[in-house]
Every structure is written in structure tokens, then in C-alpha cells.
């Protein structure tokens, strides 16, 4: 059985995933308006993935006969100074989401909710991947993004990301 506490935390996580989608959509817009269409593409695909994460949790709750409450999504309020600022913010956001998922897992463990622990395993692995990608973008930006030619190449590379 899924307790009210775990159900509420999962419900909150839906909102966090939807906010993530909003945040990455906003970041995509930042790049879209600065001629960096490849970066914009990368973040738009990421926004789609976050929507998928929200859907997974929604489906899990509904399949377990739990009523979902969709709450208001916060406005992304960041004002970015430069490309690196966006990449760094994305990485920090993923660290925050990882912590949230880990807290959820610990709460499920405390309640001996094996089903939710099993469900969350996918998210734990996904977060490790997302942090790796976000860090790798920062590393590449540091190495190659300081001149126009390097930035152009990075933009081309990131633009190859397609919806999965």
C-alpha cells in the first residue's frame, strides 16, 4: 500500500518535473532568441523529457488508485548573464531534483514501500545520467566555447539531439 505521505510526495514530484519542463523550455527560449538554435533544440528536447517524467509519476499514482492533484507551476524567474550561466543553472537544478528523488526513495524505504522504491529506481538512474550530461555540457563549453568558431561547433553538436 502507498501511504498518504508517499502519495503526497509523489504528487509534489509531478509538480517539480513539470517545473523542470518549464525551466528548460525557458532556457531553450533564451538560446532561441540569441541565434543558438542547436542549444535551443537541446533544451527543448530536455523539456519534453521532463514532461515525460511527470507523466510517469502520474501514471504510477493513477494505476495505484491514487487521486492526483495538479498544482500551479512556478514561473522560471532566472535572468541569465551568459551561456555558461544557463548551463550551470541547469546542472544545479538537476542536483536539486536528484536530492528530491533520493529523499522520496528514503521516505519509501522508511515506510517499507517496496513498490515505490522499485518504481523510483528508474528515476535514480535517470538523474545520474542527467547530471552527467549537464556536467559534460559545462566541460565542453569551458574547453571550446570561448571563441565564435568553438561555440558554432558546439551549437551544431547540441542541435543533433532528437526526441527519444
Binding residues (CB under 6 A) for ligand FEO: these are 17, 20, 50, 53, 94, 97, 130
Give the separation between CA 84 and CA 113, rounded to whole angstroms: 40
Specify the residue, 19 or 30, whose C-beta has the smaller distance to ligand FEO. 19
Specify the residue, 21 or 36, whose C-beta has the smaller distance to ligand FEO. 21
Specify the residue, 97 or 141, whose C-beta has the smaller distance to ligand FEO. 97
Query: How many distinct helices (H) and strands (E) make up the chain?
Result: 5, 0
Task: Quote the radius of gyration of the chain (alpha carbons, Å).
Answer: 17
Give the separation between CA 83 and CA 99, rounded to whole angstroms: 25
Closest approach of ligand FEO to the CB of residue 17, in Å: 5
The contacts of residue 3 (CB under 8 Å, 6+ apart) are: 111, 113
Closest approach of ligand FEO to the CB of residue 158, in Å: 16
Specify the residue, 3 or 15, whose C-beta has the smaller distance to ligand FEO. 15
Closest approach of ligand FEO to the CB of residue 131, in Å: 9
Query: Cell 494505476 identifies what position?
Result: 63
The contacts of residue 65 (CB under 8 Å, 6+ apart) are: none
Closest approach of ligand FEO to the CB of residue 50, in Å: 5
Closest approach of ligand FEO to the CB of residue 26, in Å: 14
Specify the residue, 3 or 26, whose C-beta has the smaller distance to ligand FEO. 26
List strand residue ranges (DSSP E) for 1-160, in order. none
Position of minimal CB gap to ligand FEO: 53
Amino acid at each position: 500500500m502507498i501511504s498518504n505521505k508517499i502519495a503526497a510526495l509523489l504528487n509534489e514530484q509531478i509538480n517539480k518535473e513539470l517545473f523542470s519542463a518549464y525551466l528548460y523550455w525557458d532556457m531553450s527560449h533564451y538560446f532561441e532568441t540569441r541565434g543558438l538554435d542547436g542549444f535551443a533544440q537541446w533544451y527543448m528536447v530536455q523539456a519534453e523529457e521532463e514532461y515525460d517524467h511527470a507523466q510517469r509519476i502520474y501514471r504510477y499514482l493513477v494505476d495505484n488508485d491514487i487521486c492526483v492533484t495538479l498544482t500551479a507551476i512556478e514561473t522560471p524567474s532566472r535572468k541569465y548573464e551568459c551561456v555558461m550561466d544557463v548551463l550551470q543553472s541547469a546542472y544545479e537544478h538537476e542536483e536539486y531534483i536528484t536530492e528530491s528523488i533520493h529523499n522520496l526513495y528514503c521516505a519509501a524505504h522508511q515506510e517499507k514501500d517496496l513498490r515505490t522504491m522499485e518504481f523510483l529506481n528508474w528515476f535514480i538512474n535517470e538523474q545520474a545520467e542527467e547530471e552527467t550530461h549537464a556536467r559534460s555540457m559545462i566541460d565542453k563549453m569551458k574547453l571550446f566555447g570561448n571563441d565564435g568558431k568553438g561555440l558554432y561547433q558546439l551549437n551544431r553538436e547540441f542541435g543533433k539531439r532528437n526526441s527519444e
